[in-house]
Chain A
Amino acid sequence: DAGVIQSPRHEVTEMGQEVTLRCKPISGHDYLFWYRQTMMRGLELLIYFNNNVPIDDSGMPEDRFSAKMPNASFSTLKIQPSEPRDSAVYFCASSLATGVYSYGYTFGSGTRLTVV
């Protein structure tokens, strides 16, 4: 298995532009998570899905952020319009629930977003 695949690895965009981040989870994993990492705030959970259904989006900063999971092998995180304060590393992670708990998350390599 190639692991969790994210694209692009790096994105530089101008303020006001739309940004779309992509993620392919590990086949068979039933949970998918989007995290944002910054020096100031650390790793923040934005949204997570179970079996392609959004379960908790309370971490999404504002209406400019949206996420979808149209099928078990693909998810997107969209920012429209983007702002400089959105600059961060965005990680996608997937996991498999094994009874009461999920086993460890497998993270993708991340997308480093810079909004200028």
Chain B
Amino acid sequence: GQQVMQIPQYQHVQEGEDFTTYCNSSTTLSNIQWYKQRPGGHPVFLIQLVKSGEVKKQKRLTFQFGEAKKNSSLHITATQTTDVGTYFCAAPDLNSGGSNYKLTFGKGTLLTVNP
């Protein structure tokens, strides 16, 4: 089935530094979603990107969808300790008769922040 590859797997930063995680697919995606999971918690939906080249911002978080709709990124400016967690991208798996409603999740990027 379709896979979305995320890099890096882990990222440790000093508080105040920026952070970026990348999500790549070998096939064109209809849309991509981003989730955050705090340690011991459950994934929480952050945003959905649909259009080619789309850029959306949520306070210090900036989400981008590539022009070819095969990659996406999440950038956090001036990280805080509250940003700690695993960030997942997720995209519909349209292979093998899949649908736009069935998401395949990347393996995630674990962000730790040193205060």
Contact = CB atoms under 8 A, between A and B. Distances in A.
A103 B48 contact: yes
Nearest to B106: A42
A105 B45 contact: yes
A100 B50 CA distance: 11
Nearest to B88: A43
B51 interface: no
B7 to A, nearest CB: 14
A14 to B, nearest CB: 25
Interface residues of B, number: 27
A91 B48 CA distance: 20
B92 A42 contact: no
Nearest to B50: A101
A90 to B, nearest CB: 11
Interface of A is mostly: strand
B102 A45 contact: yes
B25 interface: no
Nearest to A30: B101
Given A42-B108, A101-B30, A101-B48, A31 B43 contact: no
B105 A42 contact: yes
A6 to B, nearest CB: 9
Contacts of A45: 102-104
Given A42-B105, A42-B108, A43-B105, A101 B42 contact: no
Interface string B93-108: 0001011111111111
Interface of A: 31, 33, 35, 42-43, 45, 48, 50, 55-56, 58, 91, 93, 95, 97, 100-110
29 contacts: A33-B102, A42-B107, A43-B88, A43-B108, A45-B104, A50-B101, A56-B98, A56-B99, A58-B96, A91-B42, A93-B43, A95-B101, A97-B101, A100-B30, A101-B30, A101-B50, A101-B100, A101-B101, A102-B101, A103-B48, A104-B35, A104-B47, A104-B48, A105-B33, A106-B45, A107-B42, A108-B42, A109-B42, A110-B42
